[in-house]
């Protein structure tokens, strides 16, 4: 039987709607909107598109959007001064510095300068540490979105075998931490893992975050497994086409014949990322002002 296709677009739309309604209630109570500041340095075309869509989504969710577009030659001191201003600005609940930064800027130093309680991307080491020890903080948006889709489909993850392929700081590692906190038995696989197909074959849950087009094959999967495909890879264009197709890290057509449920690319994990960013900003706003919010319910 073909796998259920997990509709990330629909899931994200319903999360955005929920966040939008709660953001309107926040405004009524706090007397101001929840605010997200996004900082973009340079003219990277993909980053410009991301920043534009984050700004639009923020406004659509009844929040204030503060966009700071700086020239590529911005110095570290200028960027750090802006981050410092945003840290102290009471209208700003969340701060996101769009990565990658131009080569002369130290990304870790910039992330370290963000107030951890406004770090809605969850990239600050304080938030990575909070996640690791189970304290309240901010969790990176992509893995948190994956987790929401997993618990929506599977409910309690206790005792399930989960294999996370990829160990990046922004996807693989926080994903594994979230699964562990939900009592799954977690294996982290990476580029040095031996016999990856055999490791994946024992998984009830597979999260692929590698960045290699269609690497995970259908016959690597345990029948009925839930597969979350984080990868976004553009194939070479077909003859006559201007752009190649977008595919994930999982060979979707074969995988869907074996899996129980699978996220498509595009339309799976991707749309969830911005929705979770809005969710994290809403949470930050409530914490900053001291208004109660049932965080686990969103
Ligand atoms: P990354 O390059 O930082 O990490 C990739 C990881 O894959 C590394 O830890 C590496 O050990 C592992 N890896 C590489 N080759 C491997 C192999 N042959 N076998 C097993 N593991 C291997 O990437 P990232 O930032 O974690 O992103 C991963 C993918 O997810 C990319 O395609 C990226 O575009 C996509 N992504 C999507 C979203 C979204 O919103 N949907 C967000 C972030 C990243």
Would you state the structure tokens that stand for residue 272, as one six-digit string?
Answer: 């969830």
Would you state the structure tokens that stand for residue 268, as one six-digit string?
Answer: 């799976």
Is residue 117 within 8 Å of residue 249, measured between CB atoms?
Answer: no
Category of 3 on φ-ψ map: left (φ > 0), alpha (ψ -120 to 50) or beta: beta
Q: Rounded to an integer, what distance in angstroms lies between the CA atom of residue 71 and that of residue 49?
A: 16
Closest-CA residue, ligand 1 atom 41, reads 270
Q: Is 121 a catalytic residue?
A: yes
pLDDT of residue 208: 98
Q: So what CATH class is 141-271?
A: alpha beta
Sorted by sequence, the CB contacts under 8 Å of residue 9 that are 6+ apart come out as 267, 271
pLDDT, average across residues 223-231: 98
Across the chain, mean pLDDT equals 97
Asked if residue 68 has pLDDT above 80, the reply is yes
Quote the ligand 1 centre to 233 CA distance (angstroms).
10
Residue with tokens 């509709």: 7
Asked if residue 189 has pLDDT above 80, the reply is yes
Quote the ligand 1 centre to 294 CA distance (angstroms).
32
Q: Is 249 a catalytic residue?
A: no
Sorted by sequence, the CB contacts under 8 Å of residue 29 that are 6+ apart come out as 291
* Substitution candidate for ligand 1 out of 230, 265, 277, 278 with most atoms within 8 A of CB: 230
Among the options 33, 93, 98, 177, which is catalytic? 98
Tens of pLDDT, residue by residue over 13-37, are 999 999 999 999 999 999 999 999 9
Confidence of residue 76 (pLDDT cuts 50, 70, 90): very high
Q: Is 122 in the pocket of ligand 1 (CB under 6 A)?
A: no
Category of 53 on φ-ψ map: left (φ > 0), alpha (ψ -120 to 50) or beta: alpha
Closest-CA residue, ligand 1 atom 42, reads 142
Residue with tokens 């038995």: 185
pLDDT of residue 275: 98
Confidence of residue 1 (pLDDT cuts 50, 70, 90): confident
Would you state the structure tokens that stand for residue 60, as one six-digit string?
Answer: 């659509």
* Substitution candidate for ligand 1 out of 96, 194, 211, 215 with most atoms within 8 A of CB: 211
- Return the CA Rg of the chain: 19
Confidence of residue 278 (pLDDT cuts 50, 70, 90): very high
Category of 42 on φ-ψ map: left (φ > 0), alpha (ψ -120 to 50) or beta: left
């Amino acid at each position: 039987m073909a796998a259920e296709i997990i509709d990330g677009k629909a899931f994200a739309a319903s999360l955005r709607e929920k966040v939008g309604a709660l953001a309107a209630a926040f405004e009524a109570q706090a007397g101001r909107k929840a605010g997200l500041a996004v900082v973009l340095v340079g003219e990277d075309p993909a980053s410009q598109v991301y920043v534009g869509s984050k700004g639009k989504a923020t406004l659509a969710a009844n929040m204030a959007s503060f966009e700071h577009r700086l020239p590529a030659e911005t110095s570290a001191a200028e960027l750090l001064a802006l981050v410092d201003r945003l840290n102290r600005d009471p209208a700003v609940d969340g701060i996101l510095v769009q990565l990658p930064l131009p080569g002369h800027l130290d990304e870790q130093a910039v992330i370290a300068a963000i107030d951890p309680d406004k770090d809605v991307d969850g990239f600050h080491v304080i938030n990575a540490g909070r996640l690791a020890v189970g304290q309240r903080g901010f969790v990176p948006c992509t893995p948190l979105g994956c987790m929401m889709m997993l618990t929506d489909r599977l409910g309690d993850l206790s005792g399930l075998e989960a294999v996370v392929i990829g160990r990046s700081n922004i996807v693989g590692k926080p994903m594994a931490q979230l699964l562990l906190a939900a009592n799954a038995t977690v294996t982290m696989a990476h580029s040095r893992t031996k016999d990856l197909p055999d490791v994946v074959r024992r998984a009830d849950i597979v999260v692929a975050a590698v960045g290699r087009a269609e690497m995970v094959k259908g016959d690597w999967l345990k029948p009925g497994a839930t597969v979350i495909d984080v990868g976004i890879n553009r194939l070479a264009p077909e003859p006559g086409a201007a752009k190649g197709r977008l595919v994930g890290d999982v060979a979707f057509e074969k995988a869907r014949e074996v899996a129980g449920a699978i996220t498509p690319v595009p339309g799976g994990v991707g749309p969830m990322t911005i929705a979770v960013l809005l969710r994290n900003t809403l949470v930050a706003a409530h914490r900053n002002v001291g208004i109660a919010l049932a965080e686990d319910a969103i």
